[in-house]
């Protein structure tokens, strides 16, 4: 089981034609097991890039990542859903699967879908999706799809939970229910990092980190 994680001196540059974008310009952060941290910053400040490094989709140009409970050389792209789960900004639901089967996907990949049926049904009910279980993503609203993506990430009670603007498409009530579940995951011991513009989400966090121009400062934006 993973718990907290630490990033040290993280640098990520993207080349765009002749221009180099310093998406991350030396980021240090630690999120402890059991802690919910909100990552706040304007569009383009590097939030999604940081999550992409932390989940192993992108590789840092410099810096180190460490996940507690795992060997220091364990790379994030080798972590499975029980160790690290992500709610991508673009959700990443599988179009060919029902919402229920999308939520069950992490268990299906491990051969434990039967054992997780009850948990999947409970998550769908918590998020007001029980009547939509058999619908395909294209037959659900964006907000409903987003709630399914959060349920999928929570299914296996991950040690690390990364969520990219998970309340972006929600009304206040639905956002509160999502945040209740995210807070509960942290209280159960997950290390949770949520990129968010939602001030109510910051209020539920144990700590707020502000991101601007690829750098992080402790505390809410000024």
Residues 41-60, one symbol each (x = binds ligand ADP by CB under 6 A, - = not), give x-xxxxxxx-----------
Strand (E) positions, 32-120?
Answer: 36-40, 62-67, 84-87
Of these, 21, 97, 168, 183, which contacts ligand ADP (CB under 6 A)? 21
Could you tell me the smallest distance in angstroms from the CB atom of residue 210 to ligand ADP? 11
- Rounded to a whole number of angstroms, the minimum distance from the CB of residue 214 to ligand ADP is 7
- Indicate whether 196 belongs to the interface with Mg ion (CB under 5 A): no
Number of neighbours of residue 170 by Cβ within 10 angstroms: 21
**42-71: which residues touch Mg ion (CB under 5 A)?**
47-48
Interaction between residue 196 and ligand ADP (CB under 6 A): no
Please report the sign of the dihedral spanned by the C-alpha atoms of residue 148, residue 140, residue 97, residue 93. Answer: negative
Residues 91-120 within binding reach of Mg ion (CB under 5 A): none
Nearer to Mg ion, 87 or 124 (CB): 87
Nearest Cα neighbor of 168 from 148, 143, 145 is 143
User: In the chain, where does DSSP find H-type helix?
Assistant: 47-54, 99-108, 113-126, 142-154, 172-187, 199-204
DSSP-based three-state secondary structure for 193: strand
- With beta carbons less than 8 A apart as the criterion, state whether 207 and 220 touch: no
CA gyration radius for the chain? 17
SS3 115: helix
Tell me how many residues contact ligand ADP (CB under 6 A).
12
Closest to ligand ADP by CB, 57 or 136: 57
Q: Does 14 bind ligand ADP (CB under 6 A)?
A: yes
Residue whose C-beta lies closest to Mg ion: 48
Q: How many residues does the chain have?
A: 222
Footprint of ligand ADP (CB under 6 A): 14, 16, 21, 23, 41, 43-49
Footprint of Mg ion (CB under 5 A): 47-48, 89
């Amino acid at each position: 089981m993973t718990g907290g994680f630490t990033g040290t001196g993280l640098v990520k540059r993207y080349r765009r034609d002749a221009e180099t974008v310093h998406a991350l310009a030396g980021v240090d952060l630690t999120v402890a097991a059991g802690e919910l941290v909100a990552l706040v910053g304007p569009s383009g400040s590097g939030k999604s890039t940081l999550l992409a490094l932390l989940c192993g989709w992108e590789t840092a140009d410099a810096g180190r990542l460490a996940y507690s409970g795992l060997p220091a050389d364990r790379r994030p792209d080798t972590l499975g859903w029980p160790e690290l789960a992500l709610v991508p900004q673009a959700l990443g639901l599988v179009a060919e699967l029902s919402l229920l089967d999308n939520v069950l996907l992490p268990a299906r990949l491990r051969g434990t879908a039967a054992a997780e049926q009850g948990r999947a049904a409970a998550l769908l009910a918590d998020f007001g999706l029980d009547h939509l279980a058999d619908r395909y993503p294209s037959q659900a609203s964006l907000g409903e799809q987003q709630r399914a993506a959060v349920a999928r990430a929570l299914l296996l009670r991950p040690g690390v939970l990364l969520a990219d603007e998970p309340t972006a498409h929600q009304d206040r009530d639905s956002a509160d229910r999502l945040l209740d579940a995210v807070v509960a995951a942290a209280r159960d011991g997950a290390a949770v990092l949520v990129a968010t513009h939602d001030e109510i989400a910051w209020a539920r966090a144990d700590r707020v980190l502000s991101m601007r121009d690829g750098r992080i400062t402790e505390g809410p934006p000024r």
